Structure formats: structure tokens, C-alpha cells
Amino acid sequence: MAQLWGGRFTKETDKFVYNFNASISFDKKFFKQDIQGSIAHVMMLAKQGIILEDEKTQIVDGLNQIRKEVEAGTLEITDEYEDIHSFVEANLIDRIGNIGKKLHTGRSRNDQVALDMKLYTRDEITEISDLIKQLLHTLLKIMEENVDTYMPGFTHLQKAQPITLAHHAGAYFEMFKRDRQRMEDIYKRMNYCPLGSGALAGTTYPLDREYTARLLEFYGPTLNSMDSVSDRDYIIELLSALSTIMMHLSRFSEEIIIWNTNEYQFVELDDAYSTGSSIMPQKKNPDIAELVRGKTGRVYAALTSILTTMKGIPLAYNKDMQEDKELTFDAIDTVKGCIVLFTDMLATMKFNKDIMAASAKNGFTNATDAADYLVKKGVPFRDAHGIVGQLVLLCIEKNISLGELPLSEYQKISQVFKKDIYEAISLSTCVEKRETIGAPGKTAMEKVIGLNKAYLK
């Protein structure tokens, strides 16, 4: 058992206790960040005269060689080591001897693991932001191609008013844009370097924490050593943001699942993102959308877990905090996989535009516009609302749409109606006259599309 802390103990740790305590099985995921932080630390030690330049060179060369061998697969990270820090340091000492023991000067595993987790999280935030950007590009393409694709807009899963597919996709563009902005916000707030905080009270060595922070591309050092080693706010913020991303993906997945049904037939999923049934040959199941929807709970669980873990921890570091890693790694991997698959599914999905338009036309989505028609001719809105309600009831009895109802039937209920009612309640009129920014009208949508293009540049 390779341990960094054996001097105080006269008895070897029980094997079960050792395994329960060890984190190598999951913290090996950030071996690159551990080596990156160690190189910055040793460069600072040499700059401050705490170790010699030649010692720095040997340590840096040794660390780089370990990194190359792990990446090449010629050096395996095994569970004989307690954690990734033990693995790196023990291998370094094996290669360069006692000089390798100077690597840990002025450093604790507490500030070391805090640094590694920040470096890893920072890298992942950047990658997730890039994946969201690709999803936004896919949504923008759908918007550009469908400013004239009419479909029903819904409330309560009931057809409400006509919109366009561009407008519907634009709603998700806004959601995922906010998700990307949250990534940027978390990055800015977390980007301060904890290295040099020691176990909790700093160190008596003359460390240059500003220099270490610059080497690692942080904005600067953290300003309280106790908070530095016990802060997991950025993990909580990230998991909260990831949960919101999954919530948005899940909502969109739910709509795609509904649109894919025989009853709707708004979309056709590409074969690569569907599966069949083992018994029913006619089935084409939206498995990717369903899995994205299902995996949302997995990410929510990670957020709940870390909040529960952190709620009762006194300052400063406690071993409980080791529980932040597995759940965070899993949540990050889950979200990244879901974004990639969802983006590809969306990019290959076909929209049945005629069916969408027919659904809007036959769902009385233009009823509000019929009421507005009466209001513009002097009828009080509350009276207009009641008149159109009677018309809808009549259409339901005759199994026709408002556009198919004869003018004579309109005029039986109100003489205010003239031939121009049909133009007033056409899908194109209902959509295009809504031109205020944020509405589905073509002029408004094209302005928004321009703003979205500028954002993605």
C-alpha cells in the first residue's frame, strides 16, 4: 500500500479500511491535472529558491515522462496506490530518487486535491460550453430553414395559437444559450487558485501564490486558506447548471417523443437514432430521446448528493468531500454524452411540414385571431370571445375548421363578419402579423436569427 502519511502510525491500515478510504479508482481521471499542478508548484519553488534549478529540471522532466507513459498506456495507474497524488509522487521518486521527495514541499494533499478538481472542472466546463455551442448551431439552422413552417403552439398540451417551427426551435435556443452563459459564469467565479493554502493554514515557506496562479491561468490566488481547501461551491453550481441543461434536453426530448407518435407524425427520426421492437415489426422507437429524458434523474441525483454531503461539514477539509468526485465525473460524462447524441439526433431528424401546418389549421389555433377581428370592428372583447366560442362549438359539431365554415354560418351568430374573415384567420396572417420582437412573425424571427448568429460568432 503506497501511502504518503505512514510516519505517525505503528500499525498497518486494515485492507478493507484502506480500500474504503482510497480514491485511486476514480481520481485517476485527473492525472493530467495533478501533473500540471505539480509542475507549476515546483517551478514556483525553484523561483523562490526553495529548491535548486537542477532539482526543478529533474522533477519537471520526471513528471512529464510519467504523463507521457500514462497517456501511451505503458504505465498503468493501479490500485496499489491510495490516490492519484500517491501514484505520481511514488513513481517520481522511483525515477529520480530523493530529489522527487522535494515535490511536496509547501503543499498538502488538501490544497493539491482542491487544485486538481478545479483544473479538471474548468477543463470540462470549457468542453461542455463548446458542445452546447454545437447544439445552438444545429438549432439556428433549423430556425433559418423554417421561418415559414407553420405548426400549432401549445399550452397544457392543447393547441393554442399558430406559430412556426423556427419560433419553437428558437425557444430552445434561448434555453441552451442561458445554459452556456451559466458555464461562463461558473468559470469566472471559480477561476482562482487554491494551491499554497496548505492543509488549512497556509505555510511558512515563502511561496509566490500569484506566480503559481499565473502559470495555471487562474485570475489570481484564493484569499482564505480555510475556504480554499473546503470550498465545493463551484461543484454545486456546476451540478445545478448541468441539471438545468438536462431539464432542457428532457423537455425537448419529451416533445420529440410526442411528435414522433402515430397521432402527431410531426417528425421522422433517423434510423441511426431509433430502435425497433423485438416482437412488433412496425415499431420505430425514439430510444435516444427517451434515454436523455431518463438520464436527467441521474444528474439531479448528483446535485442532491453533493448538497447533502456538504450541509453538515465544519471547516476546514473533511474526508466527506472525497464524495464529490465520482458523482461529478459521472454527471459530466452523462451530460456530455446526452448533448452530443441529442444534437446529432436533431440534425438528422426530418420535419413533416404539411402535417404540422394541417394540425395548426385544424386545431382552432386561429380562434384568438377571429376574436381580434371582431374587436377591431368595435365588438367588446368579452362579447367577441363568446361569439367565437359558439363558432368553435359549431365547427366541432360539423367536424370542420374555422376556415371551412361558410360565411352564412358566421353571420348567423354575428352580422359583423364579412368575407375578409377568412384572410384574417389564415395561418399566414395569424403568424405574420405578430411582428413584435420575440414573436413568430417572419420579420421578428429574422431579426432574432441575426442576433443569434452574432452571438455564436
Cβ neighbours for 249, distance < 8 A, ≥ 6 positions apart: 292, 293, 296, 338, 339, 342
d(Cα 432, Cα 185) in Å, to the nearest integer? Answer: 37
Of 207, 211, 187, the C-alpha closest to 197 is 207
Phi/psi of residue 358, nearest 5 degrees: -65, -35
Backbone angles phi, psi at 155, to 5 degrees: -135, 140
- Contact predicate 234/242, CB 8 Å: no
CA-based diameter of the chain, in Å?
A: 100
Count of alpha carbons within 13 Å of 124, Cβ hemisphere only? 27
Q: Which residue among 104, 240, 248, 277 is the active-site one?
A: 277
Long-range contacts from 52-57, C-beta under 8 angstroms, 24+ separation: 55/99, 55/102
Rounded to the nearest 5°, which phi and psi values hold at 385?
Answer: -60, -45
Give me the catalytic one of 23, 41, 156, 359. Answer: 156
User: What does each C-alpha distance from 258 to 76, 155, 251, 263 come to in angstroms?
Assistant: 47, 14, 11, 8
DSSP per position, 253-273: HHHHHHHTSTTT--EE--GGG
Dihedral angle of Cα 83, 194, 225, 184, to the nearest 10 degrees: -120
For this structure, is 225 an active site residue?
Answer: no
Residue 426 is among the residues annotated as catalytic for this protein? no
The catalytic residues are 156, 277
